[in-house]
Chains A and B, each alone.
Chain A
């Protein structure tokens, strides 16, 4: 009997496929799946988040938001203005709105969980009159009224959980981390549709409170100017919002559609705001 071990072709036991091609195909497929999962889960989370009772939101934030008052005079003025605006808005009794004044140069304002609104000194200093400030406040109240912060958190938490479970971390450890890092206090990002919705609701409140909407659009002129001046560091209030020019056009259109007047005298801001 004759025994031999002839040379065998190389590609029988090993695929000829280039590893980088494999990586590209698999990686692309994976990314597409993630995008679908994230989009789908975000939509579901946003739909469901509105069913979370507001009292739970307040309970969550009570641990994080400390009741420190940096300027009692400014803060009570802002709160009083907010309370006035609320009476003209469709806010359920269970919801409470708390306005906080932040002594910081940043031209920013945001609404977060638990009905908390933060307004920065930097933004107050730029506002020309009370009507534009009322626009800022009612816009933020509208976010809370439409439950946008809890929607954003719901979305952030569910996506955070998705990524955490993908990376295989143990579930017990991450819950806290996820909630903390996805912005209990920090600015939650709202999408353009939510911004437009809030703009409209805010205009209704302004029209009901003042009897006209004069000066409301000035807020966006102010924001547009900041944007032009500091092209590098766009304030947060702007970054996730629709472009101010586009917003002004929409607001003008909406004002005309509703037959509101926009050429009335505006209310001046109190002196202590101007001195900030």
Chain B
């Protein structure tokens, strides 16, 4: 009985705080994406001729986001039958967009107007171990293009 109460408290806390944090994170992501829209990120390796002459430097954005108890429980229920783990989709989406934003932030500080050859790495901090906090790391990196006259 006691275990059940603890579980329900954790589930409710996880849901309330998790959802609240997620909503405010999305608000912040959308706002900053708008602010940094002037610096496009491009996956291509090849630099078009019209952007030269230029300086280049590496820019990196990195973020670690933890899941909450509610998301974890929902995913564990999903684990029994399979299907889209929708509770993790928003988590990965937030991490990816946040990593790119942090990378863009660096590019902006460097005075760049483009980031080329953007790549991303995703890794799980907990590596599926039990009794640990599940969290995801996303690393975004690319080559910032700074016009030569800057």
Contact = CB atoms under 8 A, between A and B. Distances in A.
Interface stretch (A15-23, A174-182, A229-237): A15-23
Contacts of B41: 5
A22 B86 contact: yes
Contact of A30 (B37, B80, B90): B80
Contact-residue size bin, chain B (C-beta under 8 Å from the other chain): 20 to 34
Given A3-B114, A13-B89, A23 B42 contact: no
B59 to A, nearest CB: 15
A1 B46 CA distance: 12
Interface residues of A, number: 18
Given A1-B50, A4-B40, A19 B89 contact: no
A19 B77 contact: no
Given A19-B74, A23-B74, A13 B93 contact: yes
Contacts of A7: 33-34, 37
Given A1-B48, A14-B93, A26 B40 contact: no
Given A5-B40, A13-B93, A26-B77, A19 B70 contact: yes
Contact of A5 (B37, B71, B89): B37
A210 B89 CA distance: 75
B126 interface: no
A20 B16 CA distance: 11
Contacts, number: 50
B85 to A, nearest CB: 9
Interface in A1-44: 1, 3-5, 7, 13-15, 17, 19-20, 22-23, 26-27, 29-30
For the residues of B in contact with A, the DSSP-based class is helix
Contacts of B42: 3
B89 A14 contact: yes
Contacts of B34: 7
A23 B86 contact: no
A30 B77 CA distance: 8
A41 to B, nearest CB: 17
B22 to A, nearest CB: 10
Given A26-B74, A29-B81, A3 B40 contact: yes
A19 B93 contact: no
B87 interface: yes
The 9 closest A-B pairs by CB, nearest first: A15-B86, A26-B77, A3-B40, A5-B40, A14-B90, A13-B93, A14-B89, A1-B48, A14-B93
